[in-house]
Amino acid sequence: MTAFPSAGPAGTCSRRPAAPHRRRGATLTAAVCAVLAGALAGCAAEDPDAGTNGVGRLPADKIQAKAQTAAHGAGTVRLSGNLVSQGRTYKLDMRLGPQGARGELATKAATFQLLRVDGALYLKADAGFWAREKNADPSKNDGTSVAKLVGKYVKVPSSDPVYKRFSGFTDKDVLLGSLLGLHGKLTTGDRGTLDGTRTIRIAAGQGAGGTLDVSLEGEPYPLRLRRAGDAGEVRLTDWGKPVQIQAPADSQVIDYGKSITLGD
C-alpha cells in the first residue's frame, strides 16, 4: 500500500520546520552583510575629499600652484583685511580688475580712497587727511588750497613717490604675486570651512612663513592669507564677479602735478 503524507488541519499537508542550523546560518549571513555595508558606508563618509575639486589630495606645493593659477586666471577679486607694508599697517578693502581697481585704504591716522583706471591713479581724502599730509600747506605752490581738495579725486603723477607706494595696491597681478608666495617649506594643514566653503590649508615653515586657505569647491581659489611675521591677514572673495571701474568726471578731478607725501 502506498503511504501518503498525513494531512494537517483543513486537509493541508504538514511541512517540517526549518532546521535550527539553517536559521542560524541565515541570521549570521545577514548580520555579516549589515556590518560590511555599514563599514563601507562609514569609509565613504570619512573620505575628506568626497565631492571636492580634488586638490586636497595633492601635495602642498601642487595646491599652491593650483591656487596661483586659479587666482591669475580670474578677471576680478576683492581683497579685504590688514597688511603691513614698509613698516605701516594698512586696512584695505579693494576691488581689482584687469584694467584697474577701486577701494579704500586706512592707516592709523588717515583714511583715503584709491582709484586706478588703466595707468591713471587717483586719490580722494578728507580735510583731516590733507591737513596731516607731511608737506601740506594751506596753499600749495599751484594755489590749490586744502579745502579745494576735499571731495575731489587728486590725480597723482606717475613719477610721484605716492604713485609708486600705492599703485601696487591697485594692480591685481602685482598684489597677488606678492601675497600668494609663501616663504619656507610647504606642508598641508587642516581642512575647514570659510563662509560655508570647504577649504584646505597649506603652511610654510610650519606656519611661520604664512598660511593659505584654498577652496575645495569649484575653482581652487585662495580664500584667506595669513602673512608671515604677523604682517597681516587678507580675505580674497568675489572671484570673477564684475567690478565697475571708470574714470571720474573732469569736474571731480584735480591734476596736482606736484609731489605728494602722505602723512603717517
| CA 22/CA 58 separation, integer angstroms | 50
Tens of pLDDT, residue by residue over 94-140, are: 999 998 999 999 988 888 999 999 989 999 988 777 777 645 544 44
What are the grid coordinates assigned to 162, written together? Answer: 605716492
Residue 13 has a CB neighbour count (10 Å cut-off) of 9
pLDDT at residue number 183 = 85
pLDDT at residue number 24 = 57
DSSP states of 121-157 as a string?
EEEEE-HHHHHH-TT--SB-TTS-BHHHHTTSEEEEP
Per the prediction, the chain carries an average pLDDT of 82
Strands 153-156 and 253-255, by their bridges, are parallel
Low-confidence ranges of the chain (pLDDT < 50): 1-14, 44, 134, 137-143, 259, 261-264
DSSP states of 219-263 as a string?
S--EEEEE-GGG-EEEEEE-TT------PPPGGGEEE--S-----
Look at residues 180, 149, 233 and name the one whose alpha carbon lies nearest to residue 63: 180
pLDDT at residue number 20 = 55
pLDDT at residue number 29 = 60
pLDDT at residue number 133 = 62
Strands 186-194 and 100-106, by their bridges, are unpaired
pLDDT at residue number 8 = 47
Tens of pLDDT, residue by residue over 47-58, are: 888 999 999 999
| CA 245/CA 208 separation, integer angstroms | 37
Q: What pTM was estimated for this model as a whole?
A: 0.76
Owner of C-alpha cell 593659505 = 212
183-220 burial, b at 16+ Cβ within 10 Å, e below that, comes to eeebbbbeeeeeeeebbbbbbbeeeebbbbbbbbeebb
pLDDT at residue number 85 = 83
| CA 244/CA 127 separation, integer angstroms | 27
pLDDT at residue number 56 = 96
